[in-house]
Amino acid sequence: MLISIRDETPADIAIIGDVIRQAMSVLAIATGTEAAIVERLRAAGALTLSLVAEKDGEVVGHLAASPGLVGEEEGWGLIGPVGVLPPLHGQGIGSALMVEAIRRLKPTHRGAALVGHPAYYPRFGFRAFPGLYVPGCPPEVVMALPFDGSEPDGELIHHPAFGLDQQG
């Protein structure tokens, strides 16, 4: 199976929403708002990355990244949502999206951060840090991958498109 990872094009936008909705429909942690978050990030010009995974010419996965803050510290790439069509789970498509996202963020960001499953993301180097948090989230799901060796300390602040109504 040949998978290619590339930037989204305008022709991909409708299918990206469908892929995200299908991908999230099988995840217990999903809120159902993930496709709308990507649409709001795109409308705000806040998609640092919008990568699609393509198999046999069809979009089968998507990864979004947007600017994030850790406390008042800029330069963090916030990864998410990430989704792959459910019939293709376990085939390395999500991993390929993550590897490419990290590769692209590394030269221009101090690190990457996300809220995600603690059994999945450590394989890419993500881990929880004692001082890194998102209000209302269990600490083990708030993870970062510092590229500069720093230890992130503070609230992981998402773009307003996430609708978290964060203070600070």
Whether the pLDDT of residue 31 is over 80: the answer is no
The whole-number pLDDT of residue 33 equals 84
Q: 52-56, 65-69, 149-153, 164-168: which has the minimum mean pLDDT?
A: 164-168
Q: Are strands 154-157 and 132-133 parallel, antiparallel or unpaired?
A: parallel
DSSP 109-136: -SEEEEE--TTTGGGGT-EE-TTEE-TT
* Confidence tier at 27 by pLDDT (50, 70, 90): confident
- Residue 5's SS3 state is strand
Q: Is the pTM of this model over 0.85?
A: yes
Which CATH number does the domain 3-162 belong to among 3.40.630.30, 3.90.79.10, 3.30.200.20, 3.20.20.70?
3.40.630.30
* Confidence tier at 167 by pLDDT (50, 70, 90): very low
